[in-house]
Amino acid sequence: MKKIKVLYTIPNFDTAGSGKALLNIARGLNNDLFEPHIMCLHDRGEFFKTVKASGIPIHFFPYLSKPRPISSLLASAWKVSRKFKEINPDIIHSFHYAPDYTEALATKMAGIDWVFTKKNMNWGGASKNAWHLRSFLAKRIIIQNTDMDKEIYPSSKKTEFIPRGVDTNTFKPLLLKNTDDFRTKFETGKDKRILLTVANLAPVKGIELLINAFAEVNNIDDNWVIWLVGNADNPYGKEVKKIVKQKGLQNKIKFIGKQLAINRFLNEAELFILPTKSKGEGSPVALLEAMASGTPVIGSNVPGIKDQLKKYQDHLFEPENINDLKRILSKFLKYDITTLHHQGIRFREHVINNYSLQKEVRKHEIFYKKVVA
């Protein structure tokens, strides 16, 4: 039986989030039925070492074209199409988060089925036409939350709902916890209780709302601190650090920085929060990783998060509503460690039953077979 050859395209592995999702799926495919390949623009980024070590064939090629002028676009897309024909996949699956349609045009010229994963809720504004064209050129579209179906593709027959999954063997409760040596690196005492969030700092993440709310309720238990894991070396990150200083919370809010391995951070935390603003998420894997690690979570009631916490309405708060955020923080910061631990066990079972990486991979295999058929 001929294997289905899937070429995954992604601009780079610098940011790692989309790259990890791609690699998890490619590595998980049944090798007797599928042959994965990867195409990207360069080999920069720490995570690329992991990609290379996977043994999956990697092709470096400038497969994205400038959309203007049209004459240059057509010439460039034709060159890209010849490269696609040389690799000759059955399917090209794009993990590009942006509304680029030039890749899709090249696949049309090559006569290859092209699909993409819609990774965010972006749709209107200046990029509206580009998103419409990208969607029009796609053979099928993978959506990651139910709001995409309602708000973006309400009448489309191209979509397939496949939420993110997480490796529950990698993300699990660890034996090590509350260890002095690990906490010392981040100036956090053994008696401190950690409220964790994992996200590269951007305005949509709502971190300033979390800080302002925490400033008013942290006296419930003086031992609570916040660990912010993610890149903060940008204008928004600097603004957030400024707020922390103004509130006098330098000893209670720690900027951990970008981390490739977050298992230990999840293991040290008693509670995880994702305060995303109204725009929403695609399908936030950070929330799933926290739940799989046995850490109870709370999050804003926005696309992506509300799917994952549909069974746990009391763990949701209204986005950008600082009073509701204070309400839910006040509630959970009062819980003792035993109560939170039992909640964490329930959340891990929820992920195993509904959001395992194995389920995500199997759904992609079925999806690819449909496309080829």
Could you report the per-residue pLDDT of 130-148, keeping only the tens digit for each?
A: 999 999 999 999 999 999 9
CA angle 113, 118, 120 (to 5 degrees): 165
How many Å apart are CA 326 and CA 215, to the nearest integer? 9
Q: Answer yes or no: are the C-beta atoms of 256 and 185 closer than 8 Å.
A: no
Mean pLDDT computed over 164-190 = 84
C-alpha gyration radius of the chain: 22
Smallest CA-to-CA distance from 61 within 113, 6, 7, 23 is with 7
How many Å apart are CA 352 and CA 334, to the nearest integer? 28
Residue 344, both tokens: 């964490």
pTM for this entry: 0.92
Whole-number pLDDT of residue 16 = 59
How many Å apart are CA 315 and CA 332, to the nearest integer? 9
Residue 18, both tokens: 């989309």
Whole-number pLDDT of residue 200 = 87
Instruction: Give one word for 9, left, alpha or beta, with left for phi > 0 and alpha for psi -120 to 50.
Output: beta
Report the C-alpha dihedral over residues 3, 7, 8, 14, rounded to 10 degrees.
120
Does 176 score more than 70 pLDDT? no
Q: Answer yes or no: are the C-beta atoms of 93 and 116 closer than 8 Å.
A: yes
CA-CA-CA-CA torsion sign (83, 89, 92, 96): negative
Does 28 score more than 90 pLDDT? yes
Smallest CA-to-CA distance from 243 within 309, 311, 322 is with 322
